[in-house]
Structure 1
């Protein structure tokens, strides 16, 4: 299993340097100016497969702005359908002879397209990427993809709701154990607000929640690797694994306070930002990518942050004080079904994101993306990114398990959904997880 080394260097370089530099931005690449003008009268059409549906409208607006500045290039943003993995979508597009020019993939899928993606090693942004950001994308010594976003996740809390529930200024550091979290849930409900929203999408349950059981096995990356290897070999005993059972005990507790516990599979993703933003719940398990939606419902004046997912009642247990953070999306450029002009246009679009003032604004301010480039001095002006920044500064980050098999979240997501709905019990879930891993080649 590939890993991202020097995680703290990745995220601290991206965020802390941004703080030092302040919130201003300059176009510090003279070539970017030439990138915004066109010498050709022939229009080049490129496609961009987007696997971050929560910023679909923002990316469409960015594409229009890019075309405004590069009148001979049009960018068609294509969303990955809900319920389909980006790997599945890209694979089907290649099979139909209609591969996207730019494909946004999960980190673990980049290597699968190494023979179809363009070598980007000589692009200027390679030298401006923060330390470690290109580890996953570097295959056989070649940089095969562009690091699009640094993200993190945990329990998002609405501070206005929590302040009222606690009768004062809520301190997220007060949540150190499962009992602390349940106490917070009880206080929120005593104040007349529901405690928690659990979004039942498979990618959230098995792409984000379940992997905490892997990441929390040890602060030593080698031990986490060994745990995954043991799962594949059928040697891991989840029934007696303290971390896994601790996480699922927390999930059981969450189910008791779920806003939709009577019909847990009913909510869509869109319900989450609404109920947390309008203060209908105190907590929502999700990541900072949700901010663009939350802010459309925000009644708390931007007062939000993260608390970790505790796995025990010992505040000293690894994982109880940290949230997963890492580079979560990479963009590759097709070289097999898109011609040279399209490849060049795609390179120009990526350079526009990194070096032009309007591209940086689209990436950071409009898409609320934490960039993986040290030359970008903009800091996302949203509370969730700032909360992640605080965890990074304090060294309280876990590995974001971004290189899991591409079908992990779809197959085990279905199992987690059965568990959430009460269709299966802990024993059945364990059997599904262990069977899945033994089938992974």
Structure 2
């Protein structure tokens, strides 16, 4: 754990050390100023890349990056399809491939996805970016010393809050460093909202939190990770585990209850299972209808498009686990880019070149940091510091070593969203108690690991 914290702190604080990546070339490719030129392009062979990706927050910007690449590589056509947000990307990917449509580039999580998709993964070990990867970011997609995917970014999440609302309520956010102080801050805020003390300045403000229980990735993956990362040290440990003890099961309940009890649906929690990402972010935090939400630095771009002033008021409170590690935020790699080995040799070469261009060319780097608002998982970004407050907040936690790992990438396939996330929905709807949530989820983990 200490090693991971040190790695991430170094990664974010230097953003990202030294050593430019441009000009590197993989085997059989010709070096250029803008990255690498695949053999397919030198022959002017026309290639079509179909990219199936999950990050809805960057859909528009990613398509613009693809257009910028094809402008420099006219023999390559890129089609981008994005499925994420309220949709289950993993299920959508499986359906797409089962239907006979093979994407050239797609996304995988950690070790469980590597196992699930091993028959389609191109070995990327010799790609130039692997030598520039930050320590630790490739571990979840490395098997027998072979690297099978490229990391998206480094991300962190916690309770994203509106600093001005907290100030108006007389709450010192700097003092929120453990679960007890978080709970007190939420209760104080709730009291002032119900008393109407903030109504004149924030007419839309309804509640402290919004909990999107419809998004089982929020509850079943991200919220659970805060507690389960106290039990497993890494996604690899989770992946190897035949059972789960839920040592911090009550702490997980506390995190769920806090968000539910101080949401607009506090008196009718069954409604929380209809609350989605857009309701939480776009129609919640972005319009100051709620003061805080459980999300990460990836929401900045979306909030900025709705209200730049609100976006610049945001910061991140720690996601403290009652009785466990407090004053920390979970930090890790959200997803990886994988190249499909079912494509032709020319398609595979072009796919690898596009990814190299995106993360190693100056134009690509600009998209990564200034348009995607990603924290890069590679060295060579020393001149590109995060300009958004949420990226800066993640950097602050990393520098202080106040992080916990993302272990949910090692959960059994579908367990987080389709089992635990749905069990939490039943709990919120009053259909079962918390003890049933834990027991049912434990039993399903063991069954899925057989």
Q: In which range does the TM-score fall when normalised by the shorter chain?
A: 0.7 to 0.9
Matches within 5 A, 1:402-441: 402-408=409-415, 409-441=417-449
* Distance change in 2, residues 1:57/1:10 (3 Å): farther
Deviation at 1:328, TM superposition (A): 2.0
Unaligned runs of 5+ in 1: none
Q: Does 1:310 align with 2:320?
A: yes
* Distance change in 2, residues 1:357/1:266 (3 Å): same
Distance 1:34 1:52 in 2: 25
- The residue number in structure 1 matching 2:8 is 11
CA contact (8 A) 1:198 1:259 kept: no
- The residue number in structure 2 matching 1:354 is 359
Distance 2:235 2:113 in 1: 23
CA contact (8 A) 1:152 1:400 kept: no
* Distance change in 2, residues 1:432/1:213 (3 Å): same
Deviation at 1:96, TM superposition (A): 3.1
Deviation at 1:266, TM superposition (A): 2.7
Residue by residue over 1:17-45, the C-alpha shift from the partner in whole angstroms, topping out at 9 and shown as x without a partner, is 22777xxx977436352547754544310
CA contact (8 A) 1:188 1:195 kept: yes
- The residue number in structure 2 matching 1:203 is 217
SS in 2 for 1:285: strand
Deviation at 1:382, TM superposition (A): 1.3
Deviation at 1:423, TM superposition (A): 2.6
* Distance change in 2, residues 1:129/1:32 (3 Å): farther
Unaligned runs of 5+ in 2: 25-30, 199-204
Residue by residue over 1:284-314, the C-alpha shift from the partner in whole angstroms, topping out at 9 and shown as x without a partner, is 01122211112123333612221122332xx
Distance 1:387 1:166 in 2: 21
- The residue number in structure 2 matching 1:33 is 33
Deviation at 1:80, TM superposition (A): 2.6
CA contact (8 A) 1:51 1:105 kept: no
Distance 2:298 2:234 in 1: 29
- The residue number in structure 2 matching 1:87 is 90
Larger mean CA deviation between 201-210 and 113-122 belongs to 113-122
* Distance change in 2, residues 1:228/1:280 (3 Å): farther
Q: Does 1:371 align with 2:376?
A: yes
SS in 2 for 1:149: coil
- The residue number in structure 2 matching 1:251 is 256
Deviation at 1:344, TM superposition (A): 0.8
Deviation at 1:182, TM superposition (A): 2.4
Name the count of aligned residue pairs. 418
Deviation at 1:83, TM superposition (A): 5.3
Residue by residue over 1:405-439, the C-alpha shift from the partner in whole angstroms, topping out at 9 and shown as x without a partner, is 22022222111112223332212212221221121
Deviation at 1:58, TM superposition (A): 1.9
Q: Does 1:319 align with 2:319?
A: no
Pick aligned residue for 1:268 from 269, 276, 280 = 276
Deviation at 1:343, TM superposition (A): 0.6
Residue by residue over 1:373-415, the C-alpha shift from the partner in whole angstroms, topping out at 9 and shown as x without a partner, is 0112323321111111111111110111122222022222111
Pick aligned residue for 1:288 from 287, 297, 310 = 297
Distance 1:366 1:226 in 2: 33
Residue by residue over 1:45-64, the C-alpha shift from the partner in whole angstroms, topping out at 9 and shown as x without a partner, is 00111022222222112111
- The residue number in structure 2 matching 1:229 is 241
CA contact (8 A) 2:20 2:379 kept: no
* Distance change in 2, residues 1:122/1:40 (3 Å): same
- When the two chains are superposed, the root-mean-square deviation of aligned CA atoms in Å is 2.7
CA contact (8 A) 1:195 1:281 kept: yes
* Distance change in 2, residues 1:137/1:368 (3 Å): same
- The residue number in structure 2 matching 1:60 is 63
Q: Does 1:391 align with 2:402?
A: no
Distance 1:354 1:109 in 2: 23
Larger mean CA deviation between 129-138 and 180-189 belongs to 180-189
SS in 1 for 2:295: strand
Deviation at 1:139, TM superposition (A): 1.2
Deviation at 1:150, TM superposition (A): 1.1
- The residue number in structure 1 matching 2:142 is 138
Distance 1:211 1:222 in 2: 11
- The residue number in structure 1 matching 2:125 is 121
